[in-house]
Structure 1
Amino acid sequence: MFIVTRVRFKKYLVKRIASCIGLLCFYCTNAISSTEAISSPITLDISYVKLAQQQAPGVSTLFKKPEDSGYMGAKLAISDSNTTGKFLQQHFTLNYFIATKTTQFLDYLEKEYQQGRRIFILQAPSAQLVQVDHWAKKKPVLLFNVSESADELRNSQCLPSVFHTIPSNAMKSDALAQWLLYRRMNKVLLIQGSKAEDIQLATSFKRAAKRFGLKIIDEKQWDFNTDLRRSAQQEIPLFTQTVQDYDVVYVADKSKAFAEFLPFNTYLPRPVIGSAGLEALAWHSAIEQWGATQLQNRFIEMADRKMNEVDFAGYLAVRSVAQSVHKLHSNTSDKLIEYINSTDFELAAYKGRKLSFRAWSRQLRMPLALVHPHALVSQSPQPGMLHPITELDTLGFDAQESQCELSR
Structure 2
Amino acid sequence: MALSISLLLASLALAVGPARAEDATPPQTTAAPPAAAPAAASQGAESKSGPVSSSDASQKKLTFSVLYVKQNRTKDLPLSMLDLPAKDDGIAGAKLAIEDNNTTGRFLNQTFKLDVLNGDVDELIKGATEKVAAGDSFIIADLEPDALLKFADALAGKPAVIFNVGSPDTRLREEDCRANVLHIAPSHAMLADALAQYLVWKKWPNWLLVYGPRPEDKLLADSYRHAAKKFGGKIVEEREFKEPTGSRRADGGFEQVQQQIPTFMQGAKDHDVVLVADAGNLFADYFPYRTWIPRPVAGSAGLVASSWHPALELWGGTQFQHRFKRLNSRNMRPIDYDAWVATRVVGEAATRKQTSDFKVLSSFIHSPGFEVAAFKGVATSFRSWNGQLRQPIIVGTPKLLVSVSPQQGFLHQSSVLDTLGIDKPETKCKAYTQ
Q: TM-score, normalised by structure 1?
A: 0.89
1:363 paired residue number: 388
What is the Cα deviation at residue 131 of structure 1?
A: 1.4
User: Which residue pairs with 2:229 in the alignment?
Assistant: 210
Instruction: Provide Cα deviations, 1:250-308, integer angstroms capped at 9, x if missing partner.
Output: 00112322211211111111110011000001001111011011110011111111001
1:67 CA displacement: 2.2
Call closer, same or farther: CA 1:58–1:394 in 2, change over 3 Å: closer
- 2:129–2:155 CA contact under 8 A, matched in 1: no
1:65 Cα shift?
Answer: 2.3
For residues 252-263 of structure 1, the aligned pairs below 5 Å read 252-263=277-288
State the match for 2:62 in structure 1. Answer: 42
Please state if 1:407 is matched with 2:427.
no
* SS of corresponding position for 2:404: strand
Match of 2:316 in 1: 291
Contact 1:63 1:256 in 2 (8 A): no
Q: Residue 53 of structure 1 is aligned with which of 61, 73, 89?
A: 73
Alignment of 1:353 onto 2:361 = no
The alignment status of 1:224 with 2:243, answered yes or no, reads yes
CA–CA distance in structure 2, aligned partners of residues 139 and 381 of structure 1:
36
Aligned match of 1:28: none
Contact 1:201 1:252 in 2 (8 A): yes
Question: Which residue of structure 2 lines up, in the alignment, with residue 309 of structure 1?
Answer: 334
Distance across 2 between alignment mates of 1:131 and 1:49: 13
Matching residue's letter, 1:222: F
Q: 1:202 to 1:64 in 2, by over 3 A?
A: farther
Distance in 2 separating the partners of 1:89 and 1:114: 23
**One-letter identity of the residue aligned with 1:185:** W
Residue 242 to residue 187, structure 1, CA distance change in 2 (3 Å): farther
Among 111, 116, 127, the alignment partner of 1:91 is 111
Would the alpha carbon gap of residues 36 and 260 (structure 1) be closer, same or farther in structure 2, given more than 3 Å must change? closer
Aligned-pair distance for 1:58? 6.9
Structure 1 pair 374–243 and aligned structure 2 pair: CA distance change class (3 A): closer
CA shift, 1:138, in A, is 1.9
Distance 1:37 1:89, change over 3 A: closer
Distance in 1, matches of 2:77 and 2:184, equals 28
Aligned identity (percent) is 39
Give the conservation status (yes or no) of the 8 Å contact 2:395–2:402: yes
Distance 1:373-1:230 versus aligned 2 partners, 3 A rule: same
Report the Cα offset of residue 407 of structure 1. Answer: 2.0
Distance (whole Å) between structure 2 residues aligned to residue 170 and residue 67 of structure 1: 28
CA distance in 1, matches of 2:94, 2:85: 16
Equivalent pair of 1:60/1:257 in contact (CA under 8 Å): no
Superposed CA deviations along residues 342-398 of structure 1, whole A, max 9, x for unmatched, are 111111110000100001111000000100011110110000110010000000000
Distance 1:393 1:173, change over 3 A: same
Match of 2:167 among 143, 148, 151: 148
Q: Please state if 1:127 is matched with 2:146.
A: yes
Q: Distance in 1 between matches of 2:245 and 2:398?
A: 25
Q: Does 1:105 align with 2:131?
A: no
Aligned to 1:394: 419
Q: Which has the higher contact order (CA 8 A, sep 6+)?
A: 2
SS at match of 1:354: coil
Instruction: Tell me which moved more, 54-63 or 247-256.
Output: 54-63
In the TM superposition, what is the alpha-carbon distance from 1:326 to its structure 2 partner? Answer: 0.3
> What residue number does 2:398 align with?
373
Which residue type is aligned with residue 407 of structure 1? Answer: T
Answer with 271-280 or 139-148: which moved more: 139-148
Post-superposition shift, 1:63? 2.5
The match for 1:278 is 303
1:330 aligns with 2:330: no
Gaps of 5+ in 1: 1-32
Per the TM alignment, residue 218 of structure 1 is displaced from its structure 2 partner at its CA by 1.2
Q: 1:386 to 1:92 in 2, by over 3 A?
A: same
Q: CA deviation at 1:46?
A: 1.1
Q: 1:181 aligns with which of 196, 200, 211?
A: 200
> Which residue of 2 is the match for residue 198 of structure 1?
217
CA distance in 1, matches of 2:288, 2:166: 26
TM-score by length of 2: 0.84
User: How far does the alpha carbon of each residue in 1:177-230 deviate from its partner, in whole angstroms, 9 at most, with x for none?
Assistant: 111111111111111111222122111111111111211111111111233522
Query: Is the 1:70–1:311 contact (alpha carbons within 8 Å) kept by the matching residues of 2?
Result: yes
Does 2:359 correspond to 1:340? no
1:393 & 1:58 partners in 2: Cα distance? Answer: 33
Report the Cα distance in structure 1 between the residues aligned to 2:299 and 2:141, rounded to whole angstroms.
25
Deviations along 1:8-31, one digit per CA (max 9) or x if unpaired, are: xxxxxxxxxxxxxxxxxxxxxxxx
Distance 2:158 2:421 in 1: 29
Task: Say if 1:59 and 1:255, in contact at 8 Å, map to a contact too.
Answer: no
Instruction: Give the secondary structure class of the aligned counterpart of 2:106.
Output: helix
Query: Bigger shift: 118-127 or 363-372?
Result: 118-127
Provide the secondary structure at the position in 2 that maps to 1:191.
strand
Instruction: Name whichever structure is richer in helix by fraction.
Output: 1
State the shift of 1:68 in Å.
Answer: 1.2
The 1-side partners of 2:182 and 2:168 are apart by 12
In structure 2, relative to structure 1, the CA distance for the partners of 1:385 and 1:38 (3 Å cut) is farther
Structure-2 residue corresponding to 1:79 = 99
